[in-house]
Amino acid sequence: MSNFVKPQSPIYNKATDTYIYPLTTSDQVIMPDGTRFDAKNIGGMKMELLWENATPTSEFAAQKISLDLNPYKFVLIESNLKPGSTQITNNLVSKDDFRQTVLGGFSDGGYYRLAQAYNTGIQFGNGYKYTTSESANASSCVPLKIYGIKE
Amino acid sequence: MKYALNLSNENRILSATFEKYAPSDAVLVDVLPDGNIADYLYINGEYVYEPIPVVEPEEKPSQLDIVEAQITYTAMMTGTLLEE
pLDDT of the residue at A45: 81
pLDDT of residue A53: 97
Candidates A114, A145, A121, A140; CA nearest to A129 is: A140
Chain centroid, CA B9 distance in Å:
16
Does residue B5 sit at the A interface (CB-CB below 8 Å)? no
Among the residue ranges A57-61, B2-6, B20-24, B77-81, the one predicted with the least confidence is B77-81
Average pLDDT, chain B: 90
Burial (CB count <10 Å: 0-12, 13-18, 19+), residue A23: buried
pLDDT for residue A121 is more than 70: yes
- The pLDDT confidence band at residue B84, using thresholds 50, 70 and 90, is low
Closest CA to B36 of A26, A68, A55: A55
**Considering only A34-38, A61-65, B28-32, which range has the smallest mean pLDDT?**
A34-38
Beta-carbon separation of A53 and B3 below 8 A: no
| Angle A14-A20-A24 from CA coordinates, rounded to 5° | 145
Q: Which of A100, A138, A142, A140 is nearest to A117 (CA)?
A: A100
Kindly report the pTM of this predicted structure: 0.72
**Nearest chain B residue (CA) to A134:** B57
pLDDT tens sequence across A2-40: 444 444 555 566 666 665 554 444 566 666 566 666 666
